[in-house]
Structure formats: structure tokens, C-alpha cells
A and B are shown apart, each in its own frame.
Chain A
């Protein structure tokens, strides 16, 4: 048994050595196919992650008609914090609002000189719990707010949130369709490349059948070869992805204006990296198996 396995591995390796061009063509095709699918996966993954970080910033700001009296404030804050939808509730006084505005104006802050310090309204900034960062959650909070305090104006980016959620849903759908299509195309290309490599070696297959080799004996080294090529293709795709991720994308995305400051780009997790290499092995073996069926006839 051990002798057989050694023989099959030796033959698979020897075949790869004897046909370096064909072998590299198969490895490269698989690497390109896998890298394409994986980069598409990465794009979808990161947009979803970006979406999640954007929704983190979803908050309801309630501008008050009258600034509450200092002795009322702790009670009000306590009431707000008891809302089941809320994670944080923060009071922004008129003073603080003006301070922020001044800071934002920067060098033009002098424009505010002489302006009444009560010009900006006081407000509550309400951060929602993760599960309520959607339209329904916002509606619930607004309802509760209106029955608790006198609100002058509410701001919560409702339309923007709705549009963004539709966009993310669509992206997920397009991602699934395109990813499936890419995967199918990759399988097709890989299987055809392997068919070409087998076509070049049809004499060998014919002679093997002629001298009484069993189907198992003929197929196993080719399957092993496909699996090894898939493994190499998977590794190559991973190296290529990691390289271009570090050198090109990570740098350019950080300078992109829509990227939140604390946003970290996601790369494939260790398990996903293992999955990519395993997909290569599977792709290579499947490609060999389907092509062999056409070429090996005893």
C-alpha cells in the first residue's frame, strides 16, 4: 500500500517535471481563477464591513425647543438611557454646540464674535443599539422621544439609511450571482486547461491501457497531479492577493475620502485562506477527474 502511494506520488511529480510548460499553464490558470473569485469575495466583504461601520454612526439627534434646567437633566438622561433601543444618550448644551461650531469653522471662528451664545439649540445625541440601527428602530425611538420631551427638530438621515440598505442588499445579490458565475467560469477554464494537458499526453494514457494498467492505476497519478497543481495555484493566488492587498489597495483606500477614520480593511481570515487553498485542490482534482473521463477508455 505504502509502496503504491510512493509510486503514485513519484509518478505525479515526474509528470509535472517532464511537462513543465503544461504544468505551469494549469497552475497559472487556477491561480488566476482563484484570485479573481477571492478578490471579488474580498470586495464584497469589505463593502459590507464599510456598511457596518457607517451604520455605527447612525444616531438620532433631537434638537430641543428649550434647554432643560440643570436640575432636570440627570432625570431626563436617565429616562432616555432606559429606552431599550438606545446604547448611548448624550446631552449637548448650547455652549458646547457653539464650541463645536467654532472648532469646525477653524480660522473663520472670528465670524462668531459678538453672536449670542444661545444661538444654537441644545440637543440629545442618541446612539442606537446594533440591532436597532434600522428604520424600525429609529421609528420606535422617535415615538418614545416625542412622548417624553419637547422636541423642536429631529435629524436621523432616514432616507439615506433606506437607500444605503437597499444598496447593500443589492450588492449582496449581485455578489452572489457574479461570484457564482465567476466560479463556474473558473471551473470551465481549469477543466479545459487540464483537458489540453491530457490531450498532449494521450499517448501515455493509451500505452498505459495497452500494457494492462487498471483504471485506478491510470487515474490516481493524474488526480494527484491535479490536486498538487490546484494546491500550488491556491498558494500562488493567496500570495498574489496578499501582495496586491498590502502594496496597492490598503494604501489607496486609506486616502479615500469616504473611508471612516477608524476603518480597517479586512483580508481573508486564516480559515478563509485555508479554504482558498482547499478550493484549489478541489478545483484541480475535479478538473482532472472530469477530463480523464473523456480521455481514458479501456
Chain B
């Protein structure tokens, strides 16, 4: 369960990136976060994994107040959250296997456990035959699938995706959506920031719309 109460984030200037945002997202929900560029989508997601601290308001994730946790607790919060970016954020000098294993190693998992889970996660995204390749040897779609495998390998409670298909073609986008839907079906709460309306039409889910940092729409699929 994600709860935001009157959350504002400003960077010192007159206009705030996020203004007075109050949202509740139940466990296991699938939510699109939409809005034009600069609407505050990324800031909203970044506050959820504690990369930004709200200027005002409270954020609760599974009843834990994210705005009040110490920097020592932040890693433990992030272990419950998988994050996927438009630019993949992969380690180009590491192999596909190492990129995914990295997330488990960071949590101090045992070696045998790591190899088993990494193989499963890569099989899930259809890359189990590319274990020893470097990301740059693969296509954009495949690189994004590595990033998704890295996010999902830790069995996160929440998956945050910030414009994950921004650089990818339609077919690859659909493949990636399938991966998100499958994760959601297993109980992971998914928040997907996008301005691709065709996705919302093809896979109707709850849509939260932001404009200049403010919540201007929150619709369930049957209301669309």
C-alpha cells in the first residue's frame, strides 16, 4: 500500500515539481502515471524510492513513513522496490548475468542462491541464452529486458518504471508490457510513468494524471 498525504516537492524556486499530492495506491494495483514532460512524474517516482525527500507532506509505503526514515534505512526500503528507467542504467562493462546478479549481491545473498534466481529472472524475460553478453552487444529492447530482470529478480513489492519504453518501438513496448503485467499478476504493485496513450487504451488500468506537479485526474479503467 502506497499513501501520499499533501506531498509537495520544490527545489527552492517559485514553482514546485510536485504540489500538494494526495494519492492512495492499494497493494497489487497497476497504475499509469501520465502527464506532459515536466509534469512531475519522475519526481513523484523518485520520492517513492527515497531519492528525493518531499519538502512537505508524508509518504507511507506499507505503513512505513518514507519521509522520516534515516539514510541507513534507505537501502532496506529500496530492496522492496524495483526501478526501471528509460535509459536502462546498466553497467556496460559487466555481462548480462552480472548486471542482474548485482541486485542480489548488493543484498548479501549467497552465491548459489544468486545464480539460481538470476537464471530464472533472465528466463522470464527471454534472455537466458545471452548470459555472457555485454549490454552494448544487445538491442535496446533486450537491454531494457535486462533492466526489468534486475528489478524483478529481488521479488519487489513495488515496481516503478519511468518511461521504460520511451526509446523503444511498438512491438518491444508490447513485450515489455507483458512482463509488467505478469509481475503484477504475481502480486507486485506496478507504477508506470508514460505519456504513451496507446498503451492505456490497449491495457486499460488506473490512470493518475499530473499537470505542473498537481494531480488533475485519477481514473479507474471503467471510468475511462
A: residues with CB less than 8 A from B are: 3-4, 7, 18-19, 203-204, 206-215, 217, 298
Partner of B91, one of A203, A217, A298: A203
Chain B residues within 8 Å of A4, by CB: 108
* Closest B residue, CB atoms, query A15: B93
CB distance from A100 to the nearest CB of B (A): 77
CA distance A118 to B113 in the complex (A): 102
- Tally of B interface residues using CB under 8 Å: 26
CB of B217 within 8 Å of the partner chain: no
A208 touches B110 (CB 8 A): no
CB distance from A239 to the nearest CB of B (A): 30
CA distance A292 to B79 in the complex (A): 22
CB distance from B147 to the nearest CB of A (A): 10
* Closest B residue, CB atoms, query A19: B93
CA distance A210 to B111 in the complex (A): 21
B74 touches A210 (CB 8 A): no
Q: Which of A207, A209, A298 has the most CB of B within 10 A?
A: A207
Chain A residues within 8 Å of B33, by CB: none
As a 0/1 sequence over residues 75 to 119 of chain B, the CB contacts with chain A under 8 angstroms (1 = contact) are 111110001000001110110000000110111101100000000
Chain A residues within 8 Å of B91, by CB: 203-204, 207
CB of B150 within 8 Å of the partner chain: yes
A210 touches B76 (CB 8 A): no
B102 touches A212 (CB 8 A): no
CB-CB under 8 A for A210 and B89, given A3-B111, A7-B105, A217-B108:
yes
CA distance A298 to B75 in the complex (A): 8
19 intermolecular pairs with C-beta atoms under 8 Å apart: A7-B105, A18-B93, A204-B91, A207-B102, A209-B78, A210-B49, A210-B83, A211-B78, A211-B79, A211-B102, A211-B103, A211-B106, A211-B150, A212-B106, A213-B106, A214-B72, A215-B75, A217-B106, A298-B74
CB of B63 within 8 Å of the partner chain: no
The secondary structure that dominates the B interface is: loop
Q: Which of B74, B75, B111 has the most CB of A within 10 A?
A: B75
Chain A residues within 8 Å of B83, by CB: 210
Chain A residues within 8 Å of B108, by CB: 4, 217
Partner of B110, one of A3, A213, A215, A298: A3
CB of B223 within 8 Å of the partner chain: no
CB distance from A10 to the nearest CB of B (A): 10
CB distance from A270 to the nearest CB of B (A): 40
Chain A residues within 8 Å of B75, by CB: 209, 212-215, 217, 298
B89 touches A206 (CB 8 A): yes
Chain B residues within 8 Å of A298, by CB: 71, 74-75
* Closest B residue, CB atoms, query A217: B106
CB distance from A199 to the nearest CB of B (A): 15
CB-CB under 8 A for A212 and B105, given A3-B111, A18-B93, A207-B91:
no
CB-CB under 8 A for A211 and B71, given A3-B111, A203-B91:
no
CB distance from A4 to the nearest CB of B (A): 7
A203 touches B71 (CB 8 A): no
* Closest B residue, CB atoms, query A213: B106
CB of B154 within 8 Å of the partner chain: yes
CA distance A18 to B93 in the complex (A): 7
CB distance from A1 to the nearest CB of B (A): 11
CA distance A213 to B104 in the complex (A): 9
CA distance A217 to B72 in the complex (A): 12
CB distance from B61 to the nearest CB of A (A): 14
Chain B residues within 8 Å of A210, by CB: 49, 51, 78, 83, 89
